């Protein structure tokens, strides 16, 4: 049987084993394992991106690697909602194609992918003198595998003749504003300090999208200010909205503070 995704070449994103309760819950519905089930129905393929896989088992990672699916880790999000730390070193060891994601909940709630890249590296690089994940692997996750997960293209994510002109330029002077010597490895600076404030220019397909840290084409600060003003005004004019948010928060907290039970 040819799966619909294979006929249409559609890309599929899917969350998998993000909270620690999900593996037991999915096992109760799919005794053969949720990853094997995805394989049986034709979804486990290079067109599938699995978000999180925080609690994926070794055999599941082996099958994911064999089918060429992508795993998008979301380090800050997992830490923020207490989902745990993904076994990235095991993913790499199994040969999984891993990408770096944000899941809309970065460390400082600012969608800073450079800070996310650094956090992922610090968490997963290894302990002591043992290196589990090196800087080159993390960069491949962010720039090559991430692009492949979005576009389903095996491109190297590097600057070379004929490659897509997608370029992120950082300001070296701001990144190393307390420089004492000029011989510092740029990669050391990238993995110790870089964040969105150091971006000078972003070029996508040969077109400048960000210049001097400012997004071109729209006035983002103005749009944000207008949106916040409307939301705050609406809440002031309708106190029931604020109370509804508080009530929703109480129910959500009660749900997650109760041991999950599969049905």
180 lies in the same domain as 241: no
102 lies in the same domain as 18: yes
43 lies in the same domain as 136: yes
199 lies in the same domain as 230: no
33 pLDDT higher than 70: yes
Q: pTM for this structure?
A: 0.85
In-domain check, residue 262: no
Phi–psi pair at 181, nearest 5 degrees: -145, 155
Provide the domain limits for residue 182.
165-217
Strand order in the sheet with 207-211: 167-170, 199-204, 207-211, 214-215
Specify the number of domains making up the chain. 3
- What percent of the chain lies above the pLDDT cut of 90? 60
Q: How confident is the model at residue 88 (pLDDT cuts 50, 70, 90)?
A: very high
What pLDDT, on the 0 to 100 scale, is given for residue 184? 86
249 lies in the same domain as 179: no
**216 close to 208: Cβ distance less than 8 angstroms:** yes
48: CATH = 3.20.20.140
Mark residue 19 as left, alpha or beta (left: phi above 0; alpha: psi -120 to 50; beta: remaining): beta
Per DSSP, the three-state class of 135 is helix
Region 20-47 average pLDDT: 92
pLDDT digits (tens, 9 = 90+) for 120-169: 999 999 999 999 999 999 999 998 898 888 888 776 677 888 878 889 99
């Amino acid at each position: 049987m040819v799966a619909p995704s294979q006929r249409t070449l559609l890309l599929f994103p899917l969350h998998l084993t993000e909270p620690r309760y999900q593996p037991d819950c999915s096992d109760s519905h799919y005794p053969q394992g949720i990853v094997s089930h995805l394989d049986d129905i034709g979804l486990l393929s290079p067109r599938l991106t699995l978000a999180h896989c925080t609690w994926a088992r070794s055999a599941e990672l082996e099958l994911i690697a064999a089918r060429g699916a992508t795993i998008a880790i979301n380090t800050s999000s997992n830490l923020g909602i207490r989902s745990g730390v993904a076994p990235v070193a095991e993913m790499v060891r199994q040969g999984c194609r891993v990408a770096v994601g944000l899941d809309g909940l970065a460390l400082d709630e600012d969608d800073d992918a450079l800070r996310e890249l650094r956090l992922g590296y610090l968490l997963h690089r290894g302990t002591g003198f043992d290196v589990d994940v090196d800087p080159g692997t993390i960069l491949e996750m962010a720039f090559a595998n991430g692009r492949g997960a979005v576009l389903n293209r095996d491109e190297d994510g590097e600057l070379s003749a004929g490659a897509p002109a997608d370029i992120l330029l950082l300001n070296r002077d701001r990144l190393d504003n307390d420089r004492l010597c000029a011989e510092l490895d740029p990669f050391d600076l990238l993995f110790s300090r870089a964040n969105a404030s150091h971006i000078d220019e972003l070029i996508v397909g040969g077109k400048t999208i960000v210049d001097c840290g400012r997004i071109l084409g729209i006035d983002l600060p103005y749009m944000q200010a207008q949106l916040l003003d409307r939301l705050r005004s609406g809440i002031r004019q309708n106190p029931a909205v604020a109370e509804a948010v508080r009530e929703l928060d109480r129910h959500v907290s009660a749900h997650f503070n109760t041991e999950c039970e599969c049905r």
